[in-house]
Structure 1
Amino acid sequence: MTPDHPLPRRGFLAATGAMLLLAGCGTSQSASPSPSASPGTGQSTGPSQAAGPWSYTDDRGKKIELPQRPTRIVTQVSAGAALWDFGVRPIGLFGPHKLADGGRDPEAGEIDVSTVQTIGNVWDEFNIEKYISLQPELLVSGMYIKDQLWYVPEKSKEQIEAVAPTIGINFAGRSGEEVIGKYSELAGLLGADLGAPAITEAKARYDRALAELKAFASAQGELKILFAGASPDLFYICHPPEFPDLKLVTEGAGVKLIVPETVDQGGYYESISWEKIDKYAADALFIDARAQSMKVEEMAKKPTWGKLPAVKAGQVYPWRAEARYSYQGYAIMLEELVANLKKVKRVL
């Protein structure tokens, strides 16, 4: 996917050998800090329930130990969107959560962005002074690259980590369902009620959507399906095993996707020139649809785009490259994916 999910945002970045993408812009309104909440009610779980020591070992092998359960939590937007669905309310966000027009970026999921402080909204933006002013007790972010917190600027890493403990959840090479499980576990430790109706209903909806995807896979036949993203200079063929959503689609549901012959350093995709985008013939294309990614309308201006069989057949669909890691988020993503996959006809 992109460096925002290792796929093209406004352009791919080189980051420890993996090119990743960028994000949105804007600032949010200030808000009163709110503690962890119960999913079904949106109410605080209460200070009394937070008493006693709290510990968690993250995917870096780093053990966080605090005198009591943290309630003042700042998150990267993907982590915040997942935790929000499980009932945890962050007080601050960084990463793309507001669009240029002030609206909520889809990556923010159901977060009420008017109730959280903006620490940063684009790649490499992190307002340390504002972060400190919030008196955070914990920072949570995902990781696409080993031991690197997504959207935490390397140049400010030590200063940021000196303010409050940090938790990293690994995405690379892990299926979406596994990542959802990690956020569910963390949310429970942060005081969320994992048995709340909103959670159990979302899980049932997710299970139904996954079952439908498996049914499609069993009837897929020889359909050739490609997931990709793009920048003005390059076209990116995704390597499914590295992306949580595509790993679930392929290994979890059995859908056959085109796999690139070689991958760039970092393993997320094979980048090819626009002149050679017909290297992998496909019946259908699923294109990174994040707000900051190159749009299909822009791709249509490239001379080679219209020559692709999938484009000629009108079989180009959105890829929700950073669906939030919750049952709600993945249920929505899978339902749309299944609906579009069922439309695909063989053209090769």
Structure 2
Amino acid sequence: MSDARGTGGADGHGWGFTDDLGTALTAARRPERVVAYVRAGAALLDLGVRPVAVYGSGHDGDLLDPVKAGGLAAAGVPYLGPGKALDEARVRRLGEVDLIVDVTYDGKSPYAVDGALAERLGVPLAALSVGGELTLAAIVDRFGALAGALGAQAAPGGRSTGRLGDAEAAVRAAAERTGVRVLALSGAGPEQVHLARPHAWPELARLAELGVRFVDPGPGPGASWLTTDWEHAVGLGPDLVLFDSRVNAVPPHAVPPGARPAPWNPETPPSPAACARFFQDLAAALEDEGGEA
């Protein structure tokens, strides 16, 4: 991944922003009509930039996943379907589009949309990294920088940053009091389950820094997930199971005896407000489970 820390602004010399693919984006004026991947669009909305539409990933269907949507549905932001299936005509029907915003996991290419589509439309495409090589704070800061470059005011993000600090303090306190053992996973049916490697997920890595005791899924292939069977997951004996609650994931087939399940969105929007909500919910789950131990 490029380590370019993009900057952006609007003045008499036009607009510019360098994304996490190292691409220097320029425009004659600040973009106002943004189309974004759902996760990016939900984060931008939290930060004060309302997309004109959002699209999904290859895991998504024709309907907006409510788990991934954040405040997009309530704000009336249209959903265009999976990004790889987008065609020029559907995007052009939105009217003028100034910018496409995606995410990248590998620092080499956008995740959910074909970069060639942006080229055909003649629209700049910004991809911001959400991969495990960055800290959660760095990812959130980059989305804040893009929102600022798109004209968002600093106040909403500032208030949310304070809420995130409070949520982190709540997690730290709950983790210290309870010592609850946590396993994060994504169901794949009755025969398989994907167990998250906490260091590979920025929000989980941050929670570990705050004292949350994550269960190590064990050795095996896979940088982000260990794919195994439910017997192995049950045998790890966690107290709290964070299960992937996205529509494309399968609900937990088995939960270890005595363990409490709690929802987890592996694509939590990288905004202070969304992270604060997740951390507050986790702090409550830790307290509930710890109180029953």
TM range (shorter): 0.7 to 0.9
Q: How does 1:188-203 map to 2 (within 5 A)?
A: 188-195=148-155, 198-203=156-161
Gap regions ≥5 residues in structure 1: 1-48, 300-304
Which of residues 224, 227, 231 is equivalent to 2:184? 227
**TM-score between the two structures when normalised by the length of structure 1:** 0.72
- Deviation per CA, 1:96-155, whole angstroms, max 9, x where unpaired? 7xx9997871312112467444332x4743233212343322110111233231211xxx
Q: CA deviation at 1:339?
A: 0.2
Cα separation, partners in 2 of 1:347 and 1:224, compared to 1, 3 Å: farther
- 2 CA distance for matches of 1:101 and 1:119? 8
Q: CA deviation at 1:284?
A: 2.1
Cα separation, partners in 2 of 1:64 and 1:178, compared to 1, 3 Å: same
Tell me, yes or no, if the aligned pair for 1:76 and 1:93 is still in contact at 8 Å.
Answer: yes
- 2 CA distance for matches of 1:131 and 1:140? 14
- Deviation per CA, 1:20-75, whole angstroms, max 9, x where unpaired? xxxxxxxxxxxxxxxxxxxxxxxxxxxxx776411111111111111111112110
Segments ≥4 residues shifted beyond 6 Å: 99-104
Q: How does 1:33-52 map to 2 (within 5 A)?
A: 52=13
Q: CA deviation at 1:216?
A: 2.4
Pair 1:157-2:157 in alignment = no
Pair 1:204-2:180 in alignment = no
Could you say which residue in structure 1 is the equivalent of 2:247?
291
Cα separation, partners in 2 of 1:175 and 1:74, compared to 1, 3 Å: same
One-letter amino acid of the structure 1 residue matched with residue 228 of structure 2: I
Could you say which residue in structure 2 is the equivalent of 1:269?
225
Gap regions ≥5 residues in structure 2: 1-9
Identity among equivalent pairs (%): 24
Equivalent pairs, count? 278
Which of residues 194, 209, 214 is equivalent to 1:257? 214
One-letter amino acid of the structure 1 residue matched with residue 103 of structure 2: G
- 1 CA distance for matches of 2:214 and 2:139? 21
- 1 CA distance for matches of 2:265 and 2:167? 15
Could you say which residue in structure 2 is the equivalent of 1:35?
none
Pair 1:337-2:282 in alignment = yes
- 1 CA distance for matches of 2:105 and 2:183? 21
- 2 CA distance for matches of 1:61 and 1:100? 30
- 1 CA distance for matches of 2:206 and 2:224? 15
Could you say which residue in structure 2 is the equivalent of 1:46?
none
Which of residues 28, 31, 40 is equivalent to 1:79? 40
Q: How does 1:1-348 map to 2 (within 5 A)?
A: 52-95=13-56, 105-112=66-73, 115-120=76-81, 122=82, 124-133=84-93, 134-152=95-113, 156-163=114-121, 164-173=123-132, 174-195=134-155, 198-221=156-179, 223-232=180-189, 233-251=191-209, 253-265=210-222, 267-296=223-252, 299=253, 305=254, 308=256, 312-345=257-290
Tell me, yes or no, if the aligned pair for 2:241 and 2:259 is still in contact at 8 Å.
Answer: no
Cα separation, partners in 2 of 1:103 and 1:276, compared to 1, 3 Å: closer
Range with greater deviation from structure 2 (330-339 or 139-148): 139-148
**TM-score between the two structures when normalised by the length of structure 2:** 0.84
Q: CA deviation at 1:224?
A: 2.3
- 2 CA distance for matches of 1:108 and 1:235? 24
Cα separation, partners in 2 of 1:128 and 1:244, compared to 1, 3 Å: farther
Tell me, yes or no, if the aligned pair for 1:52 and 1:69 is still in contact at 8 Å.
Answer: no
Tell me, yes or no, if the aligned pair for 2:15 and 2:29 is still in contact at 8 Å.
Answer: yes
Cα separation, partners in 2 of 1:105 and 1:277, compared to 1, 3 Å: same
Q: CA-atom RMSD, angstroms?
A: 2.7
- 1 CA distance for matches of 2:74 and 2:104? 22
- 2 CA distance for matches of 1:117 and 1:217? 39
Q: CA deviation at 1:220?
A: 4.3
Q: CA deviation at 1:188?
A: 0.5
Tell me, yes or no, if the aligned pair for 1:283 and 1:346 is still in contact at 8 Å.
Answer: no
